[in-house]
């Protein structure tokens, strides 16, 4: 796929907003709805004593007050994206996905 900049642009276009944050600091005031994402894993395939294929896996969290946000549908339909879990914290719904990009 692409790099981190491409993923950032894809997510911003998907939600029609700039409320997409890569590993934001705790001091940042986040506007909702938002997507917060971070690097989760770098799985690799090996052959002949070396890496021949590697992609980065990211953890995406859609955060919003609305439990029926249309962003969730858009995210879950991305290739290589899988829903992981949902939780509620501070009256905000958190939908967690993993995506290989």
Domain edges within the chain: 4-100
Tokens at 25, concatenated: 């600091």
DSSP code of residue 19 = -
3-class DSSP state of 14: helix
Q: Average pLDDT for residues 54-67, to the nearest whole number?
A: 93
Question: What confidence score (pLDDT) does residue 1 get?
Answer: 52
Higher pLDDT, 53 or 34: 34
Tokens 């955060």 locate to 63
Question: What confidence score (pLDDT) does residue 43 get?
Answer: 83
Question: What confidence score (pLDDT) does residue 13 get?
Answer: 95
Fold of 4-100: STM4215-like (3.30.2000)
Q: Which runs of E-coded beta strand occur in the chain?
A: 20-22, 34-41, 44-47, 50-54, 57-64, 81-89, 92-100
Angstrom CA distances, 35 to 40, 48, 94, stand at 15, 39, 9
Question: What confidence score (pLDDT) does residue 58 get?
Answer: 96
Question: What confidence score (pLDDT) does residue 25 get?
Answer: 92
Q: Average pLDDT for residues 72-88, to the nearest whole number?
A: 95
The confidence band for 21, taking pLDDT boundaries of 50, 70 and 90, is very high
Question: What confidence score (pLDDT) does residue 54 get?
Answer: 82
CB 97 within 8 A of CB 77: no
3-class DSSP state of 91: coil
- Rounded CA-CA distance 85/101 in Å is 19
Is pLDDT of 6 > 90?
yes
């Amino acid at each position: 796929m692409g790099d981190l900049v491409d993923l950032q642009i894809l997510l911003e276009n998907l939600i029609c907003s700039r409320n997409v944050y890569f590993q934001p600091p705790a001091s940042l005031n986040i506007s909702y709805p938002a997507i917060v994402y971070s690097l989760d894993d770098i799985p690799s395939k090996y052959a002949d004593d070396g890496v021949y294929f590697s992609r980065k896996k990211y953890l995406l969290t859609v955060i919003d007050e609305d439990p029926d946000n249309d962003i969730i549908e858009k995210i879950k339909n991305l290739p290589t994206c899988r829903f992981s879990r949902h939780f509620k914290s501070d009256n905000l719904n958190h939908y967690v996905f993993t995506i290989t990009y």
